[in-house]
Amino acid sequence: MEELLKFAPRPTGAGEMFQMLRDGQPRTRADLASITGQARSTIAARIDLLMSAGLVAPAGEASSTGGRPPTTFAFRPGARVVLAVDLGATHARLAVTDLASTVLAEIEAPLAIADGPDVVLAWVAEQGDKLLETAGRKRDELVSVGVGLPGPVEHSTGRPINPPIMPAWDDVDVPGILRRHFGTAVLVDNDVNIMALGEHRTAWPEVTDMLFVKVATGIGSGIIADGELRRGAQGAAGDIGHIAVPHAPDVPCRCGNVGCLEAVASGQAVAAALRDAGLEAETSADVVALVRAGDVAASRAVRQAGRDIGSVLAACVSLLNPSIIVVGGIVADAGEHLIAGIREVVYQRSLPLATQHLRIVTSHTRARAGVLGASAMAIDHVLSPAAIDALIT
């Protein structure tokens, strides 16, 4: 280890300094020297490296107390682009964004994840190329790809692990396949984690402890603690769909247990209950449509689903003490019924200390949460100090 370290390339320090510019604020060389404690000459050399890579550009002049006003420098998010891919069970959304996650071009299309990795990843490659063209960017401006998949993913390798609704994807080297096409780093995570990341970065960047809950065909969550997404030991953190609902009926679940949250309160479960009551509801979208059309039985069923979800979230609140719970996924589009049910039980079942400042809200980024998170994950990877150093040397 010691020996290896001796031969590792020396960091230029430019990557580290660049982190201070990621907030978009223009700064002078003197500002950066003060903040970092480095010599002016060192700072100047680093700025030059970052400018030659296009990542930083002059941003105007600072006010001066006399003499020639010093130049300010700022991060240039448009210098490169990333491809963000959000694959669901039955639909997909792709976006090309700049390095500040601003969407430059975007498509949404139906897609069957069950068609398997060959078909789906070939489609992603083709659509990704087209989207780059639409955005007017070249392939060599693409620096990374972020992908969300609707199943458990081992984050370190980017491979799906026993994904229930996409068995053909088990242990497939998704990053390797897409890297061969795009020639860039490819980061993969499960869809709820990237939704949590997208919602956090976009709508609640100042919140340190957040729980994002997706209520759709299934139910899952993503955990932000101390400002970062937490994935757990195998990348399975947040998998709340199979937690037992206290006092729930013994509904059998596809996982083999009974009374799981997903079996009781998912869009699928609510649709099934409504069918039993004689209504036409095949999917989560049908449930949402019924609620929006004012159907009382559907509204009551969604509110009860909210209560059941709330009874599990009450436990999550006790364990994690988040300051905000954000509810997303298609069932959240059914208006206030879902969230009202969740609030009812969470505030009743949790300790006052954990709920005194707790907000429970619907997602701000909604259907875009996934691509925004995939973009953020891809950007974080290429703008890390080590990655910047590698890029510019």
Contacts with a copy of itself by CB under 8 A lie at 2, 5-6, 8, 10-13, 27, 30-31, 34-35, 37, 152, 161-162, 208-209, 221, 223, 225-226, 228, 230-240, 242-248, 255, 257, 259, 311-312, 314-316, 318-323, 348-354, 356-357
Nearer to a copy of itself, 134 or 393 (CB): 393
Nearer to a copy of itself, 97 or 311 (CB): 311
Find the radius of gyration of the CA atoms of the chain.
23
Report the C-alpha gap between 336 and 339 in whole angstroms: 5
Nearer to a copy of itself, 137 or 231 (CB): 231
Q: Minimum distance between the CB of residue 54 and a copy of itself, rounded to whole angstroms?
A: 24
Nearer to a copy of itself, 109 or 319 (CB): 319
Q: Minimum distance between the CB of residue 343 and a copy of itself, rounded to whole angstroms?
A: 17
Q: Minimum distance between the CB of residue 243 and a copy of itself, rounded to whole angstroms?
A: 4
- Going through 296-367 in order, the beta strands assigned E by DSSP cover 324-328, 359-362
Distance separating the N- and C-terminal Cα atoms of the chain? 23
Q: Minimum distance between the CB of residue 14 and a copy of itself, rounded to whole angstroms?
A: 11
Measured from the Cβ of residue 32, the count of other Cβ atoms closer than 10 Å reads 20
In Å, how far are 221, 234, 248 from 41, measured between CA atoms?
A: 48, 45, 67
Joined together, the tokens standing for residue 245 give 């609902």
Q: Using alpha carbons, select from 197, 241, 204, 238 the residue that is nearest to residue 221.
A: 238
Q: Minimum distance between the CB of residue 298 and a copy of itself, rounded to whole angstroms?
A: 27
Nearer to a copy of itself, 115 or 250 (CB): 250
Nearer to a copy of itself, 121 or 325 (CB): 325
Measured from the Cβ of residue 7, the count of other Cβ atoms closer than 10 Å reads 6
Phi, psi of 230 (to 5 degrees): -110, 125
Determine the 3-state secondary structure of 120 from DSSP: helix
Joined together, the tokens standing for residue 38 give 């480095």
Q: Minimum distance between the CB of residue 384 and a copy of itself, rounded to whole angstroms?
A: 16
